[in-house]
Amino acid sequence: MFPMKTRPFKQVDVFTPTPYRGNPLAVVLDGADLDPATMQHFARWMNLSETVFLSPPTDPAADYRLRIFTPGGELPFAGHPTLGACHAWLEAGGRAQAPGRVVQQCALGLVSIRTDGLVPAFEAPPSTRNAPAPALLAQVAQALGITPAQIRAAQLLDNGPIWLGLLLDDAQTVLALTPDHYALKALGQKVGVAAVSTAANDAVDLHVRAFAAPTGIDEDPVTGSLNASLAQWLMADALMPPRYVAAQGQCVGRDGRVQVQRDADGRVWVGGASVTCIDGQVRL
């Protein structure tokens, strides 16, 4: 153990302009000399979906380097930490090399974040997808308490984090789920569920929930990596339009909004507002 020191710290709420309605993120703005075990211990103590640590980049094309930890382990990439860390870095005086564009270095590689729009948006990293094994799909359906007939489509999605993505029959099915989180943890599979909104008075186009018991979080309030992979899959299969708004978090007392858009070059951008809730220092 090395001596603790005082470090600048922020806690940011992501995918919301309203404090305490999105997905909170702990941001240690000076993490260059911290070892992975200390980062993991602090993330477990914070007990948020993710805790991140910023340091100078090792790639000259990047503006800063980011390491991302859940209570259960390190992630190569995650969406809400990407937007939240960018917000915190800029608010703390960070200056990007290129106007309107921040480049983040993480274990997955370089991630571009546009900051010249109404809300910041990251470029979704490449995502692969494959059909899940029938046995896994049956076990997950049982853990979720749904029948196979309620699953419209399913794909294993991988953009660093791996999610089993399920498109269900109805938004009310998604919102009414009461999963067996112990069973999902035993399967070792994170599960993202979504359904297209069909209500005439609904302000959003897609309802999403994310169950991540294997990482120590039963339900993630709002999930950028999942929404990025879902968008690439659903748009490619013409199941969603090239621009839409997703809602996530209502079942855990939040009200997150994720803005998704595919540009003329086929790149998918995932955006949302961030707001700082705690600004101070941490001894670490």
Beta carbons within 10 angstroms of residue 55's beta carbon: 17
Query: With contact defined as beta carbons under 8 Å apart, do 6 and 281 qualify?
Result: yes
- Residue where the block lists tokens 């948006």: 121
For β-strands 268-271 and 121-123, DSSP reports them as: antiparallel
50 is a catalytic site residue:
yes
Give, for 130, the enclosing helix (H) or strand (E).
strand 128-130
User: Of 260, 262, 231, 251, which Cα lies nearest the Cα of 83?
Assistant: 260
User: Which of the residues 50, 74, 91, 123 is marked catalytic?
Assistant: 50
Q: Are 249 and 258 in contact (CB under 8 A)?
A: no
Angle at 41 between CA 252 and CA 229, to 5 degrees: 45
Q: How far is CA 247 from CA 16, 24, 116, 209, 250, in A?
A: 11, 16, 23, 9, 8
Any bridge partners for residue 26, and if so which? 11, 51
Active site residue ranges: 50
